[in-house]
């Protein structure tokens, strides 16, 4: 039977045209984030299964690609549970590896530490437009900064990067996990039911207001609590200052500091931004990760019709490794979705060097070949990209294919110069 030439489901091959755009986007990301003081790190693709399954990753923990023990450690005959078979897994995001990295190297790192991490992650998810089982993530995180300066820097760095890539008119939606909890407490939901309420609320943009109401009632919550909860959202929609209105309604259920901090973030970003985007307070924003403790944010792009990145504060996560909590906050760009949108818009990488193709007739003498290669080397020194290849029989088709790859000048070399 012939071997399969197609990638595994949920994975994809990347052709040269896309790879060129990906390399360019990576360079813009690194340059822009570097200007904000972020430094690159790298962590392994494989993490200890206990780290990945610590009930911090939400639904993603159900999507882990798990790795069997190796050699003598793997005994299928005596195994009684998954713990006897599995000891590692492919990372499903970059935050868990970062926190482990920081916990292991904190004494060697500056404080606060501003990390940039780019790399593939894996989730056994259902593939769809802009979503794969292997995909690149691009994260910036600030560890050791307790104030909202971290949120302000993260939002400005991310939006500046998106602006440099040509994106305009997008939204940064922002909320606070403590506001979500205060709204649930105010409405009379039991604390152990908060996660269930938030899971339903997170579907607001898909099932609408009525859908959220029906699902909450269907899950057994009393109508009085559901009505009180949804009345908050109706009032927010009618208020001139949604955050101020909500804080007034919640009263003692919400600490004044939460409102003040969120206002400072929004005012600072709006006053200093250098990209075309809108910062919007959205009390229905949940974010799926259980590790978020404070501010949360998400990128919404009309071209995609969904989230193109997000993040938030996770002040309790380092403590899971060290026993001592460290303030931490991060923002992740949806790299694959950004690339998808650029490809669909016909994006071309700017300021590319001239691309020249030298086509060599088969049988070109060694002395002449050396002259051609020397000539190519001279052009490369001048900053040009020179491809030296053998000439195909169908020269016209060969040039057409090279033109698609951006080659604009062709030079032909024959063993008989008179040709």
On whether residue 318 sits in a domain, the answer given is: yes
Q: How many CB atoms lie within 10 A of CB 328?
A: 28
Question: Which contacts (CB < 8 Å, 24+ apart) does range 14-22 have?
Answer: 16/405, 17/404, 17/405, 18/339, 18/343, 20/349, 20/406, 21/339, 21/342, 21/343, 21/347, 21/349, 22/136, 22/339
390, 338 Cβ separation under 8 angstroms: no
| Domain endpoint, select from 254, 285, 316 | 285
Point out the domain boundary residue: 252, 285, 318: 285
- 3-state secondary structure at position 194: helix
How far does the chain reach from its first CA to its final CA, in angstroms? 47
In whole angstroms, give the CA distance from residue 356 to residue 413.
13
Residue 321 is part of a domain; what is its CATH number?
3.30.930.10
Considering the domain architecture, whether residues 156 and 204 belong to the same structural domain is answered as no
Please compute, for residue 342, the number of CA atoms within 13 A of its CA located in the half-sphere on the CB side: 26
- Determine the pLDDT at residue 73: 72
Q: How many CB atoms lie within 10 A of CB 360?
A: 19
Beta carbons of 154 and 140 less than 8 angstroms apart: yes
Q: What is the token pair recorded at 246?
A: 């909500």
**Exposure string for 56-80, b = 16+ CB within 10 A, e = fewer:** bbbebeeebbeeebeeeeeeeeeee
Tally of structural domains, the chain: 3
Q: What is the mean pLDDT of residues 187-211?
A: 89
**Is there a domain that residue 70 lies in?**
yes
Question: Do 255 and 107 belong together in one domain?
Answer: no
Residue in the structure block whose two tokens are 């804080």? 247
Could you tell me if residue 293 is inside a domain? no
266 belongs to a structural domain? yes
In the block, which residue shows the tokens 């078979």? 85
For residues 145 and 24, state if they share a domain: yes
Q: Which segment, 263-277, 295-309, 348-362, is predicted with the most confidence on average?
A: 263-277
| 166-191: pLDDT as tens digits | 999 999 999 999 999 999 999 999 99
Residue 290 covered by a domain: no
Examine the domain organization and report whether 180 and 235 are in the same domain: yes
Whether 418 maps to a domain, the answer reads: no
Do 341 and 304 contact (CB within 8 A), yes or no? yes
Give the per-residue pLDDT at 400.
Answer: 92
* Residue 368 CA to its chain's centroid (Å): 50
Interatomic CA distance for residues 198 and 311, integer angstroms? 17
Predicted local confidence at residue 81, as pLDDT: 65
Task: Note whether 37 and 142 are same-domain residues.
Answer: yes
Q: Provide the pLDDT confidence category of residue 141 given band limits of 50, 70 and 90.
A: very high
Least reliable range by pLDDT among 13-17, 173-177, 363-367? 363-367
Residues 31 and 140 grouped into a single domain:
yes
Eight-class DSSP state of 278: E
Treating both helix axes as pointing N-terminal to C-terminal, what angle do 256-272 and 242-250 enclose, rounded to 10 degrees? 170
**Residue at 187 is within a domain:** yes
What pLDDT is stored for residue 176 in this prediction?
Answer: 95
Considering 332, 352, 372, which residue would you say is the last residue of a domain? Answer: 352
Within this chain, do residues 89 and 51 fall inside the same structural domain, yes or no? yes
* Cis-peptide into 112, omega within 30 deg: yes
Confidence of residue 156 (pLDDT cuts 50, 70, 90): very high
In terms of domains, do 387 and 405 share one?
yes
Residues 212 and 277 reside in one and the same domain: yes
The pLDDT score that the predictor gives to residue 387 is 94
Q: Do 162 and 179 belong together in one domain? A: no
Rounded Cα distance, 381 and 376, in Å: 9
> For the chain, what percentages of helix, strand and coil (3-state, to nearest 5) are there?
45, 20, 35
pLDDT at 54 over 90: no
Regarding whether 160 and 210 lie in a shared domain, the answer is: no
Looking at residue 363, what is its pLDDT? Answer: 85
- Give the tens place of pLDDT for each residue, 216-228: 999 999 999 999 9
Please list, residue by residue across 293-303, b when 16 or more beta carbons sit within 10 angstroms of its beta carbon and e when fewer do. bbbbbbbbbee
Same domain for 181 and 35: no
Q: Is residue 2 part of a domain?
A: no
Give the pLDDT of residue 352: 79
What is the domain extent for residue 125? 9-169+302-352
Looking at 112-116, 243-247, 363-367, 408-412, which range is the least confident one? 363-367
């Amino acid at each position: 039977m012939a071997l399969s030439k197609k990638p595994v489901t949920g994975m994809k091959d990347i052709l040269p045209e896309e790879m060129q755009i990906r390399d360019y986007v990576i360079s813009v990301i690194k340059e822009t984030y570097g200007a904000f003081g972020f430094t690159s790190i790298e962590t392994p693709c494989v993490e200890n299964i206990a780290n990945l399954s610590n009930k911090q990753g939400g639904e993603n923990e159900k999507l882990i690609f798990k790795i069997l023990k190796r050699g003598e450690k793997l005994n299928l005959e005596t195994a009684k549970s998954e713990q006897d078979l599995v000891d590692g897994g492919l990372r499903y995001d970059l935050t868990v590896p970062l926190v482990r990295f920081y916990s292991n190297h904190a004494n060697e790192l500056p404080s606060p530490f501003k990390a940039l991490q780019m790399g593939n992650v894996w989730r056994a998810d259902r593939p769809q437009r802009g979503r794969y089982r292997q995909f690149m993530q691009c994260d910036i995180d600030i560890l050791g900064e307790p104030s909202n300066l971290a949120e302000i820097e993260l939002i400005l760095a991310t939006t500046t990067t998106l602006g440099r890539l040509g994106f305009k008119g997008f939204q940064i939606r922002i909320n606070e996990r403590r506001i979500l909890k205060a709204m649930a407490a105010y409405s009379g939901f039991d604390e152990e039911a908060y996660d269930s309420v938030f899971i339903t609320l997170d579907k607001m943009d898909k099932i609408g207001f009525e859908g959220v109401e029906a699902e909450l009632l269907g899950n057994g919550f009393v109508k009085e609590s559901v009505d009180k909860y949804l009345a908050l959202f109706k009032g927010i929609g009618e208020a001139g200052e949604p955050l101020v209105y909500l804080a007034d309604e919640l009263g003692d259920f919400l600490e004044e500091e939460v409102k003040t901090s969120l206002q400072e973030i929004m005012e600072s970003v709006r006053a200093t931004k250098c990209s075309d985007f809108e910062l919007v307070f959205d009390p229905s924003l949940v974010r799926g990760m259980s590790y978020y403790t404070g501010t949360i944010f998400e990128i919404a792009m009309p071209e995609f019709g969904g989230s193109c990145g997000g993040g938030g504060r996770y002040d309790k996560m380092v403590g899971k490794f060290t026993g001592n909590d460290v303030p931490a906050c991060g923002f992740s760009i949806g790299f694959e979705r950004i690339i998808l949108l650029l490809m669909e818009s016909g994006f071309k990488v700017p300021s590319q060097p001239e691309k020249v193709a030298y086509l060599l007739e088969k049988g070109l003498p060694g002395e002449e070949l050396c002259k051609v290669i020397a000539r190519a080397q001279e052009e490369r020194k001048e900053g040009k990209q020179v491809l030296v290849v053998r000439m195909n029989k169908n020269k016209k088709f060969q040039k057409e294919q090279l033109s698609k790859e951006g080659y604009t000048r062709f030079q032909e070399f024959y063993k008989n110069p008179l040709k």
